[in-house]
Structure 1
Amino acid sequence: MIKWFLAVLGYFVFRLPGAVIGFLLGSVFENVSKSSSGSFETVFRNTSQRPVSPADFELNLLSLCSIVIKADGSVNQTELNYVRQYFVSTYGKDKANAIFKTFNEVVKQREISAQRICAYLAGRTRYEMRLQILHFLFGIANADGAVTSGESSKIKEIAGYFRIHFRDFESIQAMFVKKGDDAYKILEIDKTATPEEIKKAYRKMVKKYHPDKVITQDEAIKKGAEEKFKQVQRAYEQLQKERGF
């Protein structure tokens, strides 16, 4: 391969530093050549080479939680307790406390940027995972019984940074913000949809939101994925009853 050829050549010319530089230049050249083919497999493989570590994921997730909690200009204690209890029930008290301690130390050193966090996670997680993070954030906003416009706007902003499709955002939002046509929005269809269109939409949502699609070791995200999947099922069952099919 080119990177090894350049590494050997660099070694003979500049010894070890030359070998390192040659290897890096060769790697860049190979990646550019592969990406130019435009294959989905190549793009997916390149993305999967940059996984996010469990520790990084937990801290970045907690950072997004803090952004949503402070969306209305103040810290809501109910929402803060929701996040803490969620982390404790998922990771155990000792690990949860360690995560919060590290988070507090990091926050003192730098300002939390939703755009930077989302850019980092977007390049290291599957689309289905990002949908689940969005669902989790709405759960936090709804912990005190209602999602405010400020919280909804902030989560919408995060969804944009995550490159989430608008209908997917609306679908998840409808699971928490009730407006009368929630079942339709959850299934991403219009009220005029026929029974066949509803069935087709349901099958599509089952594939998209099935917990198996969320490949992660994070138990908090796994539990949320299961709950989101149940809401899709409930929406379909509701329309079955209302439309009589």
Structure 2
Amino acid sequence: MIRWFAAFIGYMVYRFPGAIVGFLIGSLLDNFIGGKKSGGSFQRAFQQQQSGRVTPADFELNLLSLASLVIKADGQVSQQELDYVRKYFVQAYGRERANATFRVFNDVIKKREISAAKICNMFRQRMRYESRLQVLHFLFSIANADGRVSELEVRKINEISGYLGVSARDFSSIKAMFFKNPDSAYKILEIDRTATDSEVKKAYRTMAKKYHPDKLQHMDEAYQKGAEEKFRKVQDAYEQLQKERGF
């Protein structure tokens, strides 16, 4: 391992203090390189997660677990939904890392009972609210990959939304992005049809700020693209109401 080699070099140069410094630096390099390897590292990540420790692989594995709950919610495993998830993970993490995540999920996690409440509790502790909204949008996108979001899928996502601590209004707003009806634009902006023009404008500013892609700059490119899609839905809803109301 690099840590022992670095410790040896440190000892040769600065004796015992150098050995300690070398060991610490080598340990950091070992962890960095180990994090880039697939397969076994993800297996260890899951084992560490079970023991209460958190690793960089936790998010991918848990997100994939939530995705599997949505895919199975209506009792039919859609190939379009599976393809959507795989494509999303490849875009977010690269093919090698995505494949490693899927392998661990299939070999270990898939065989166990998946607890949405436990996963979401971890997300609530470690993710910003805006990021949790993006997780919700991702789950709706999965359900919609086959061209239709079923009622059972909506129920499952609503359950997950509650565990994530997402407000009912925000859940309804994101849900409305996937259902076209006369009130969709109002629901996306989280207002009623009776809202005044000034209230519509104020709601648009509020929602545009909430869903602005800049709030997800800390996340991978795939999640930022999802944020851009939500942002466009808000803009489309506002433009639709502008045309309907003539302001």
User: Residue type of the partner of 1:143?
Assistant: A
1:229 is matched with 231
TM-score, normalised with respect to structure 1: 0.76
- Cα pair distance change 1:122/1:110, threshold 3 Å: same
1:170-209 correspondence runs (5 A): 170-209=172-211
Q: For the residues of structure 2 that align with 1:104 and 1:238, how far apart are their CA atoms?
A: 44
1:43 is matched with none
2:118 is matched with 116
Structure 1 unaligned runs (5+)?
1-50
Q: Which of residues 133, 142, 149 in structure 2 aligns to 1:131?
A: 133
Deviation at 1:125?
A: 0.5
Deviation at 1:186?
A: 0.2
2:58 is matched with 56
Identity fraction in percent: 67
Q: Which of residues 52, 56, 74 in structure 1 aligns to 2:76?
A: 74
- Cα pair distance change 1:53/1:219, threshold 3 Å: farther
Task: Kindly tell me the number of residue pairs found equivalent between the two proteins.
Answer: 196
- Compare 130-139 and 93-102 and name the one that shifted more: 93-102
- Compare 215-224 and 195-204 and name the one that shifted more: 215-224
**What is the DSSP-based 3-state SS (H/G/I as helix, E as strand, rest coil) of the residue aligned with 1:111?**
coil
User: Residue type of the partner of 1:120?
Assistant: M
Q: For the residues of structure 2 that align with 1:156 and 1:208, how far apart are their CA atoms?
A: 20
User: Residue type of the partner of 1:104?
Assistant: N
CA contact (8 A) 2:92 2:223 kept: no
1:24-43 correspondence runs (5 A): none
User: Residue type of the partner of 1:85?
Assistant: K
- Compare 51-60 and 98-107 and name the one that shifted more: 51-60
CA contact (8 A) 1:91 1:219 kept: no
Deviations 1:165-198 (A, max 9, x none): 1010000000002222110000000011111000
Task: Give the superposed CA RMSD.
Answer: 1.8
CA contact (8 A) 2:91 2:221 kept: no
**What is the DSSP-based 3-state SS (H/G/I as helix, E as strand, rest coil) of the residue aligned with 2:182?**
coil
TM-score, normalised with respect to structure 2: 0.75
Deviation at 1:215?
A: 4.8
Structure 2 unaligned runs (5+)?
1-52
- Cα pair distance change 1:243/1:52, threshold 3 Å: farther
Deviation at 1:53?
A: 4.6
- Cα pair distance change 1:108/1:174, threshold 3 Å: closer
- Cα pair distance change 1:125/1:54, threshold 3 Å: same
Q: Which runs of 4+ in 1 moved over 3 A?
A: 51-54
CA contact (8 A) 2:137 2:174 kept: yes
CA contact (8 A) 2:216 2:227 kept: yes
Deviations 1:114-158 (A, max 9, x none): 111101111111111111100010000000111000000000000
Q: For the residues of structure 2 that align with 1:108 and 1:178, how far apart are their CA atoms?
A: 34
